[in-house]
Amino acid sequence: MQAHTCPDIPTESTTPQTFSDAERAAVYRAIHERRDMRHFSGGSVSDETLLRLLRAAHHGPSVGFMQPWRFIRVKNKALREGIHTLVEQERKHTAEALGERKDDFMKLKVQGVLDAAEVLVVAMPPGREAHVFGRRTLPEMDIASTACAIQNLWLAARAENLGMGWVSLFDPAALAQLLQMPDGAHPLGVLCLGPVSEFYTRPMLEQEKWAARAPLQQMLMDDVWAQESSLDAGGSNASAR
């Protein structure tokens, strides 16, 4: 084997630094065709692919470069069933809390823990309070960083033609106990990952009429909260992709 100059730094950018139109379009395609999947078709994900996805997550941005994420790959069947049970329990608690939308909610499929090829639990490790850079006034930036890592994994999965769903219906203390996490660790998501027979053409919660996407225009303001944006997001579909 030949010696490599930088064997541990595969992320050095190469020249040229610019993205082509085709590359740019591919990035937008992943962003717009990513879906929160709950329907999986079994199958498997190769170790090589899984490592590519995990490396994409690990190259997410993190406040002060703290890298506050850990990934537990749950292969054990009993543990998977334990997670499934925790999600079902929280699903019922959530349904009760939703009141008049209870029945609509109970019709939705909210997880694929038993069907997906892989289940990854994402958790933040103990000791996060030691990280002050960018978090003194916004301590939640560790959560934000971990979410960015998950979004990287999600987009990469879409580009690998794999579905992913982020399940947050669980009691974090119970999940931490099930997976023997140390005090101070905090699970943020159960990721279901694997082949799907097809991707939803629109977000499932939109297809099921649980909620509608707000017009982009309503999300935008100029300078201060009360001032409408001078950008014209309405009807400009040609520029949307």
The minimum distance between CB 84 and a second copy, in angstroms, equals: 15
Rank residues 22 and 103 by Cβ distance to a second copy and give the closer one.
22
Rank residues 84 and 135 by Cβ distance to a second copy and give the closer one.
135
Q: How many CB atoms lie within 10 A of CB 72?
A: 16
CA 59 to CA 11: how far, in whole Å?
9
CA 84 to CA 177: how far, in whole Å?
14
Of 178, 157, 177, 176, residue with least CA distance to 166? 157
Rank residues 19 and 42 by Cβ distance to a second copy and give the closer one.
19
The minimum distance between CB 207 and a second copy, in angstroms, equals: 11
Rank residues 30 and 115 by Cβ distance to a second copy and give the closer one.
30
The minimum distance between CB 135 and a second copy, in angstroms, equals: 7
**Cα-based distances in Å from 241 to 20, 28, 122, 238:** 15, 6, 31, 7
The minimum distance between CB 197 and a second copy, in angstroms, equals: 10
